[in-house]
């Protein structure tokens, strides 16, 4: 049976699963496959070098799915930041009605998108940041626990606590992000008050994910202990796959007496990370992965994965409800 949550109703999707907007992964191949499976696929704006390249990717995705899909716009600290307003304008021009936002000072971009009725899902790692986003008029919050891949924040609160705090405190519906790979996780998130889940690492390990099969097989082999936290010293903590490069960056960070970011800059280069997904050498550069890698044991199609999660979640919720016995039968 299709799920019926605030997320599925608002986005026009069948299963309350959102594909995370991942750098160098969120291309049309993956986004369309997730949307065709009944979830929400996401293109990553900054994976495209220019706003016009994003326009071309949106149009390509439209040829691959007739179902809703969204675009991720992540605002990152940079000496010369991209023209986020121009990327947002392309999203508007192309009629995309769903945007996932994340990062620093998203107010102007959210205001630009909300002016035309865009549905905004905003990623947060703390309740304080979520409350600030609510003031900006976001429609859904994506609550990102410490288990997640990439930017984990600085508070180290896992989703079991963070989602319950969101349920207690927030007046805007939220979805759960970080640590999800199966239907049992979806059932748990719904039970904790979420309207759905966001999955990144799990979708990297699918047939349609546009990354080298060696990396997918590396994820399958990995355990939940195979991630590394780096850049904590500079309050920009990121969870990366534990390989030769991330371990060396972590060692330099711990042992440095100068505390200069330049000492590890070459190790955490995004350009080298992109090459990993192309050449299949898992040790060539840093790449993001969540602790959820320990739960991933196969490389299914997006359709098979989403359908499996849907069935598992339904079975789990039905099984949980069967534990309640009417007092008259006791």
Residue 285 falls within a domain, yes or no?
Answer: no
150 & 268 share domain: no
Q: What percent of the chain has pLDDT over 70?
A: 99
In which band, very low, low, confident or very high, does the pLDDT at 219 lie, cut at 50, 70 and 90? Answer: very high
pLDDT tens digits, residue range 133-146? 999 999 999 999 99
Residue 53 falls within a domain, yes or no?
Answer: yes
223 & 119 share domain: no
66 & 159 share domain: yes
Mean pLDDT (the chain, rounded): 96
What total of structural domains would you count in the chain?
2
- For residue 118, pLDDT over 70 is answered with yes
222 & 154 share domain: no
pLDDT tens digits, residue range 90-116? 999 999 999 999 998 899 999 999 999
198 & 271 share domain: no
- For residue 197, pLDDT over 70 is answered with yes
In which band, very low, low, confident or very high, does the pLDDT at 1 lie, cut at 50, 70 and 90? Answer: low
193 & 225 share domain: no
185 & 127 share domain: yes
220 & 190 share domain: no
pLDDT of residue 165: 98
Strand ranges inside the chain, DSSP E = 17-19, 41-44, 69-75, 98-103, 119-124, 140-144, 150-151, 174-177, 197-199, 227-230, 238-241
- For residue 121, pLDDT over 90 is answered with yes
Alpha helices in 94-205 (DSSP H): 107-114, 127-135, 159-169, 183-191, 201-204
pLDDT of residue 310: 98
236 & 306 share domain: no
221 & 201 share domain: no
- For residue 277, pLDDT over 70 is answered with yes
pLDDT of residue 2: 76
Mean pLDDT of 215-230: 98
**What is the token pair recorded at 41?**
């696929």
Residue 292 falls within a domain, yes or no?
Answer: no
Residue 254 falls within a domain, yes or no?
Answer: yes
Distance set, CA 201 to CA 30, 57, 222, 293 (Å): 12, 22, 12, 7
What is the CATH classification number for the domain harbouring 97? 3.20.20.70
181 & 257 share domain: no
Residue 148 falls within a domain, yes or no?
Answer: yes
- For residue 329, pLDDT over 70 is answered with no
Residue 291 falls within a domain, yes or no?
Answer: no
CA triple 50-52-55, angle to 5 deg: 120
Domain carrying residue 222: 213-279
Residue 329 falls within a domain, yes or no?
Answer: no
Residue 296 falls within a domain, yes or no?
Answer: no
18 & 83 share domain: yes
pLDDT of residue 327: 74
């Amino acid at each position: 049976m299709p799920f019926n949550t605030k997320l599925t109703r608002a986005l026009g999707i069948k299963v309350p699963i959102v594909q995370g907007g991942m750098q160098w992964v969120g291309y049309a191949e993956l986004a369309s496959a997730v949307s065709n499976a009944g979830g929400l696929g996401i293109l990553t704006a900054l994976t495209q070098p220019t706003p016009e390249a994003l326009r071309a990717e949106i149009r390509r995705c439209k040829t691959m799915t007739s179902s809703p899909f969204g675009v991720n716009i992540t605002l990152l600290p940079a000496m010369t930041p991209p023209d986020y307003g121009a990327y947002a304008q392309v999203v508007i021009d192309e009629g995309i009605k769903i945007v996932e936002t994340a990062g620093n000072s998203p107010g102007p971009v959210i205001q630009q998108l909300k002016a035309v009725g865009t549905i905004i899902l905003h990623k947060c790692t703390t309740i304080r940041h979520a409350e600030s986003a609510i003031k900006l008029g976001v429609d859904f919050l994506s609550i990102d626990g410490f288990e997640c891949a990439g930017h984990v924040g600085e508070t180290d609160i896992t989703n079991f606590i963070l989602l319950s705090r969101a349920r207690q405190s927030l007046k805007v519906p939220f979805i759960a992000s970080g640590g999800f790979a199966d239907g049992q996780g979806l059932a748990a998130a719904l039970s904790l008050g979420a309207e759905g889940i966001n999955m990144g690492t799990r979708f990297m390990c699918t047939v349609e994910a546009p990354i080298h099969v060696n990396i997918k097989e590396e994820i399958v082999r990995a355990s939940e202990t195979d991630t590394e936290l780096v850049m904590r010293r500079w309050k920009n903590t990121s969870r990366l796959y534990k390989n030769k490069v991330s371990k060396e960056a972590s060692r330099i960070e711990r042992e440095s007496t100068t505390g200069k970011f330049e000492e590890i800059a070459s190790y955490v280069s995004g350009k080298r990370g992109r090459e990993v997904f192309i050449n299949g050498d898992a040790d060539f550069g840093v790449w993001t992965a969540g602790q959820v890698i320990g739960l991933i044991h196969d490389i299914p199609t997006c359709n098979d994965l989403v359908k499996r999660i849907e069935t598992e979640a339904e079975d789990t919720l039905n099984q949980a409800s069967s534990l309640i016995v009417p007092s008259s039968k006791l």
